[in-house]
Amino acid sequence: MKKWKLILLAALGIFAALQLTNPARTNPPVITDFITAAKPPAAVATSIRAACYDCHSYETKWPWYSRVAPVSWLIVSDTDEGREKLDFSDWPDEAVRAAKKMDRINEVLGYREMPPKKYTLIHADARLTEAQRKEIMDWTDAAAAKLRAASTNE
């Protein structure tokens, strides 16, 4: 019994020490917001905000468990990676680049890579229905085509 108390005490000590290693949870200032710049329909904007913005923008809502190591390491890492791959808070003003990003949104939604299951398990509002997925994909496809057409006319 004494052995188990020591093990539990050691585990609690290690857990407490891990809390000192939490990474920074940052939300830098928004440069150019996707929804403001691209002006998607309200339903598309709502779906994208709910399913994508926590990991792909500077408007991340950091839940309480994002402050608890080792979970904090995973959340910050996923958010940093998400922002690096696609950042809705730094949307390009170049038509060709914006069109490529919209094509990529369409691709990851089509292959069901996004939003990831580990995120939607906890965040029910991020679960996209087939209708929402199709609506986003149809709009991004049309918007990308429009951007490409406008860039060739310039």
Tens digits of per-residue pLDDT, 19-71?
777 788 899 999 999 999 999 999 999 999 999 999 999 999 999 999 999 89
pTM confidence score: 0.86
With cut-offs at 50, 70 and 90, classify the pLDDT of residue 154.
low
The string of DSSP codes covering the chain is -HHHHHHHHHHHHHHHHHGGGPPP---PPPSB-HHHHH---HHHHHHHHHHHHHHHSS-----GGGGSTTHHHHHHHHHHHHHHH--TTB--SSHHHHHHHHHHHHHHHHTT-SS-HHHHTT-GGGPPPHHHHHHHHHHHHHHHHHHHHHHHH-
Tens digits of per-residue pLDDT, 64-92?
999 999 899 999 999 999 999 999 999 99
